[in-house]
Amino acid sequence: METPPQQETESQSESQSPFPGVRSGLSPVAPFRWISRGLDDFKACPTASMFYGCCFAAMGFVLNVVLARYYQYVSALACGFLLLGPFLAIGIYEVSRRRQKGLMCALRPTLAAWRSNAGNIGVYSLILSVIFLVWARASLVAFALFYTSEMPTLEGFLRQVLSLQNAEFLVVYAGVLLIFGSLVYAVSVVAIPLMLDRDQDSVTAMITSFLALVKNFPAMVVWAVLILAFTGIGFATLYIGLIFTIPLIGHATWHAYQEVVEPRSS
């Protein structure tokens, strides 16, 4: 049977589209499946996974030591983990990618994972860095205008969040962080794994991430809550928990990408 001209044209246009296909309607429980698969990766590749987790924990300790007298900067940079995390976890994505392809999940090959698509990953990291710098400035402005108590340590800041002290400041600070965090989350849900796996350009990767968010909004909200919860556990344990929670989030993000983005058409 001959293909009708209109249908043939539509098929060709779809195959020539620069955007990868994005599945829709994923269940809100899907993120728990990603976490389970990420845990399998962690168990299979503990050395490489914990190396990256230790790097994140070490960054947290260094921030506290170097900026011990400037607690407002500690809070801004600690929350900035959430903004720069998608880029900093690229090695963790590579661990999962290599394991999925049946390759050894040794640490050394993952350290240079960014080289496979250095230009586009570099552009993406630059965009995240600009957002981070704007967030840091907005954070300091929020402290200057709304914080009425003595500047806290990071641990004291977390206690104030839990006890709802200085409520006006907390509302403003959380609101500003939500704006910047939502922006980064929207353009990074699957961006780095996509660029790593398919050499995709940064703009297409960010648009694909946004489409993944829109088409699977309930699941992506649950996923965002889980990311915040695991990151919060890491902070609450004086960064020690980041050794385990950050690799788990990174591995799970790879599996989120695999489930949300359709495979390449042959």
For the chain (266 residues), the mean pLDDT of every run of 10, in chain order, is 39 56 94 96 94 89 70 69 80 93 87 86 89 84 70 58 68 85 90 91 93 95 94 86 94 96 78
> Residue 8 contacts by C-beta under 8 Å, 6 or more apart in sequence?
none
Q: Per residue in 1-19, pLDDT tens?
A: 444 444 333 334 444 566 7
Tell me phi and psi for residue 261, to 5 degrees: -90, 130
Determine if the pTM surpasses 0.75: yes
- Of the candidates 45, 130, 85, the one whose C-alpha atom is nearest the C-alpha of residue 227 is 85
Q: How many helices (H) and strands (E) does the chain have?
A: 13, 0
| pLDDT score at 165 | 67
